């Protein structure tokens, strides 16, 4: 499991019990028989990622991390090879800013079109 935490001061390791319970609940809902011991052996990896400057940037950081992961993560990987698909520059602040600016432009243009259509 990867925990991409842009609020490092939130002590991400403290979330591990809740994350593992969440995974166990998903397995249970899906009818999978894995027990707590199997889930406890899934490594929780917390790579360094760009940090938010304030509490309003969370959404763009989450979207950026999801976007990168969907683009570059292999379908299958093992923890012994981690982070072979995550280069050191994978979480680059400059690329994050570029992503955020494009996201803001896209959002602004859609809002402008929507308000034009309503008038």
- Whether 14 maps to a domain, the answer reads yes
Look up the domain containing 92 and give its range: 8-118
- Whether 17 maps to a domain, the answer reads yes
- Whether 33 maps to a domain, the answer reads yes
Nearest to 3 by CA among 65, 54, 74, 58: 65
**Residue 14 phi, psi (nearest 5):** -70, -20
What pLDDT sits at residue 78? 64
- Whether 48 maps to a domain, the answer reads yes
pLDDT digits (tens, 9 = 90+) for 14-46: 889 999 999 999 999 999 887 788 889 888 888
pTM value?
0.64
Q: What is the 3-state secondary structure (H, E, C) of 57-111?
A: CHHHHHHHHHHHHHHHCCCCCCCCCCCCCCCCCCCCHHHHHHHHHHHHHHHHHHH
Total domains in the chain come to 1
């Amino acid at each position: 499991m990867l925990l991409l935490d842009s609020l490092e001061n939130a002590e991400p390791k403290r979330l591990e019990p809740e994350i593992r319970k969440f995974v166990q609940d998903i397995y249970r809902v899906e009818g999978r028989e894995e027990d707590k011991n199997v889930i406890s052996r899934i490594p929780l990896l917390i790579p360094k990622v760009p940090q938010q400057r304030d509490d309003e940037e969370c959404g763009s950081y989450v979207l950026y991390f999801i976007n990168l992961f969907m683009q570059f993560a292999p379908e299958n990987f093992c923890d012994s090879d981690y982070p072979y698909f995550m280069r050191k520059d994978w979480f680059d602040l400059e690329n994050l800013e570029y992503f955020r600016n494009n996201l803001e432009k896209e959002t602004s243009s859609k809002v402008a079109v929507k308000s034009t259509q309503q008038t």
